[in-house]
Chain A
């Protein structure tokens, strides 16, 4: 995917560009909001926008871009991590909000999820390999075998499946499945995922739910 990074910290941006290109993405970097707004008109899948920029700040830039009718997903980067700041960012037209310092894997996972969400059509059924998830009837089968899931397990699987073949971080799961934006002390998510894994992978030769070390999880039939 093509990513526009609007960030005044040159070094941080250079790491982002490098990391993204190593994962097969093309990233352009600009250092101020004015240039960024001009660049944003060309075709990008997602925009990374720092909140604190020289001149026009990130919030204003996002508001202007949205006012001009730009639909490209925007991910805010900010050193301000309070709930109110997050709400302000999302209200200004941002689609996601990441507080510095962040793990690169977190940024990558969120960018991929954002880019995916854009082109998505409403689905009633998601298939990952031989795993079939019927969203309306909330029925899950693998190789035709019915799998019984608790409501929360279903929500977890649905989120993983919507982001199939992509890494999903623990924080993303907490935010989207449990609607919490704090980190519990113990890694409770791991336990939920391993329980889900035992339900969908046990007894099947090909595992679908993978742990990505240092990053999170991925639901995929491609190993």
Chain B
């Protein structure tokens, strides 16, 4: 009962009923119109034939009198057909015709009448339907000319009953169809609802069933699953961040705490207190830096999509090079910008792209030996505007190239260098946010990192 109620309330069922009603009404109007037109057309034709015959017989009477009329009526009565005649005299006795008795008229309008008459075929006498017209011939003689319309009546009845049956059939089929479609839809929607309830209960890897048919519900299931994939990857990112925090922030926090604790032991003098506080301040700043970098990355990874402003990559490259030029010089590394002939414009966020490029240059300078070279460029490659940073440092083994973008990953060879292991993670987050392709290649020697952004024509 509950199921039926739900079914009747379903959109699919309601739609089916609605269409059924529209279809039923329009076919009723159409059929009714055709029926009415053809029925009235045949009726008119019958009436015209009768009128013509009445006129003809009346003419015959005028020319030949009652005997002539009687003769013609008798002749015509003998013919097989649908024509009916009845000629009576003043006393009401039949003198010619093929109808047994003068019919009792049901309605009479200018002599027109619809009536029943008895017709004998072999031993069987049947009552048939007819339409006719009576006229008064001089001297009390009356003539009835009619047509057997039994067949027509039967046809009309047949059509009428067909009409009702068809109507009933349409209604029944529509109702059943509606219930069926509703049930099918409802079953699939119920399974989707069950799947989402399962997912909400914490089974995040579960997915909404897809049947591969490509219909509306299947497409809905596909996009729901895509959404769930995205949510899952975000959840994983959040989980990874909290894991990272647990692993990489606990150690410095612990140092901070222990230093304070140990300093307070015994009788601390002012100098050692000051020293410990200064160290703690430094440590807290480093912690905050790591914390902010993590937040930045998480925020970027969680954001929908980047801003869509045109940015001149050439300017970004020049500004970052300007910022790092003295650092490179101090490290005895030559920092060069490879000029592009014309402005290179991409869609993106100036601040984030600058920060990503700064991180790449920072890394390149950090890992390149004195006397080496770091270069950066913005160039157009077909549909892409590409930011590239290359160096002549030791490079990264091929097996580690994907790993270097993960959070807190520092290759064994870098342990001695400053940094929190988040610089390249931010670069990747910026690239993902800009739907840019990030590539790490061998510079022979050194490393070349490039980010291919969507270019726009410079206007």
What is A's interface to B at a CB cutoff of 8 Å? 81-83, 101, 103, 152, 178, 180-186, 188, 191-192, 195, 214
Q: How far is the CA of A83 from the CA of B353 in the complex (A)?
A: 14
Q: Which of B409-454 contact A (CB under 8 A)?
A: 418-420, 423
Cβ proximity bits B270-290 to A, threshold 8 Å, 1 near / 0 not: 000000001001000100110
A and B contact pairs by CB, cutoff 8 A, 5 listed:
A82-B299, A178-B319, A180-B323, A181-B351, A186-B366
Q: Name which residue of chain A comes closest to B326, CB basis.
A: A191
Q: Which of A83, A180, A185 contacts B419 (CB 8 A)?
A: A185
Q: Name which residue of chain B comes closest to A153, CB basis.
A: B326
Q: How far is the CA of A82 from the CA of B355 in the complex (A)?
A: 14
B362 at the interface (CB under 8 A from A): yes
B150 at the interface (CB under 8 A from A): no
Are A214 and B362 in contact, CB atoms less than 8 angstroms apart? no
Q: Which of B282-312 contact A (CB under 8 A)?
A: 285, 288-289, 292, 295-296, 299
B358 at the interface (CB under 8 A from A): yes
Are A195 and B326 in contact, CB atoms less than 8 angstroms apart? yes
Q: What is the distance, in angstroms, from B150's C-beta to the closest C-beta of chain A?
A: 89
Query: Which residues on the A side are within 8 Å of B423 (C-beta)?
Result: 185
Are B292 and A184 in contact, CB atoms less than 8 angstroms apart? no
Q: Which of B289, B327, B351 contacts A183 (CB 8 A)?
A: B289
Query: Which residues on the B side are within 8 Å of A82 (C-beta)?
Result: 299
Are B351 and A152 in contact, CB atoms less than 8 angstroms apart? no
Q: What is the distance, in angstroms, from A109's C-beta to the closest C-beta of chain B?
A: 15
Q: How far is the CA of A188 from the CA of B331 in the complex (A)?
A: 12
| 7 closest Cβ pairs, A-B complex | A191-B326, A182-B355, A185-B362, A191-B327, A195-B326, A184-B358, A188-B327
Q: What is the distance, in angstroms, from B335's C-beta to the closest C-beta of chain A?
A: 12
Are B288 and A101 in contact, CB atoms less than 8 angstroms apart? yes
Q: Which of A103, A186, A191 contacts B362 (CB 8 A)?
A: A186
Q: Name which residue of chain B comes closest to A174, CB basis.
A: B323
Q: Are A191 and B330 also in contact (CB < 8 A) when A82-B299, A152-B322, A180-B351 are?
A: yes
B386 at the interface (CB under 8 A from A): no
What is B's interface to A at a CB cutoff of 8 Å? 278, 281, 285, 288-289, 292, 295-296, 299, 319, 322-324, 326-327, 330, 351, 354-355, 358-359, 362, 365-366, 418-420, 423
Are A185 and B324 in contact, CB atoms less than 8 angstroms apart? no
Total A-B residue pairs with C-beta atoms closer than 8 Å? 50
Q: Name which residue of chain A comes closest to B423, CB basis.
A: A185
A82, A178, A183, A184 — most chain B CB neighbours (10 Å): A184
Q: What is the distance, in angstroms, from A2's C-beta to the closest C-beta of chain B?
A: 28
Q: What is the distance, in angstroms, from A186's C-beta to the closest C-beta of chain B?
A: 5
Q: Name which residue of chain B comes closest to A185, CB basis.
A: B362
A82, A183, A185 — most chain B CB neighbours (10 Å): A185
Query: Which residues on the B side are within 8 Å of A180 (C-beta)?
Result: 323, 351, 354-355, 358
Are A188 and B324 in contact, CB atoms less than 8 angstroms apart? yes
Q: Are A186 and B418 also in contact (CB < 8 A) when A191-B327, A214-B281 are?
A: yes
Q: Name which residue of chain A comes closest to B349, CB basis.
A: A83
Q: Name which residue of chain B comes closest to A99, CB basis.
A: B292
Are A186 and B351 in contact, CB atoms less than 8 angstroms apart? no
Query: Which residues on the B side are within 8 Å of A184 (C-beta)?
Result: 323, 358-359, 362
Are B358 and A214 in contact, CB atoms less than 8 angstroms apart? no
Q: What is the distance, in angstroms, from B89's C-beta to the closest C-beta of chain A?
A: 113
Q: Are A178 and B323 also in contact (CB < 8 A) when A81-B292, A214-B281 are?
A: yes
Query: Which residues on the A side are within 8 Å of B330 (C-beta)?
Result: 191
Q: How far is the CA of A191 from the CA of B351 in the complex (A)?
A: 22
Query: Which residues on the A side are within 8 Å of B292 (C-beta)?
Result: 81, 183
Q: How far is the CA of A184 from the CA of B359 in the complex (A)?
A: 7
Query: Which residues on the A side are within 8 Å of B420 (C-beta)?
Result: 185
Q: Are A103 and B299 also in contact (CB < 8 A) when A186-B327, A214-B278 are?
A: no
Q: Are A182 and B351 also in contact (CB < 8 A) when A81-B292, A82-B299 are?
A: yes
Query: Which residues on the B side are within 8 Å of A214 (C-beta)?
Result: 278, 281
A81, A83, A188, A192 — most chain B CB neighbours (10 Å): A188
Besides A182-B355, A182-B358, A185-B419, 10 other A-B contacts (C-beta < 8 A):
A180-B323, A185-B418, A185-B423, A188-B326, A191-B326, A191-B327, A191-B330, A192-B323, A214-B278, A214-B281
Q: How far is the CA of A188 from the CA of B327 in the complex (A)?
A: 6
Q: How far is the CA of A81 from the CA of B323 in the complex (A)?
A: 23
Query: Which residues on the A side are within 8 Å of B326 (C-beta)?
Result: 188, 191-192, 195
Q: Name which residue of chain A comes closest to B281, CB basis.
A: A214
Q: How far is the CA of A184 from the CA of B354 in the complex (A)?
A: 10
Query: Which residues on the B side are within 8 Å of A183 (C-beta)?
Result: 289, 292
Q: How far is the CA of A191 from the CA of B330 in the complex (A)?
A: 8
Query: Which residues on the A side are within 8 Å of B324 (C-beta)?
Result: 188
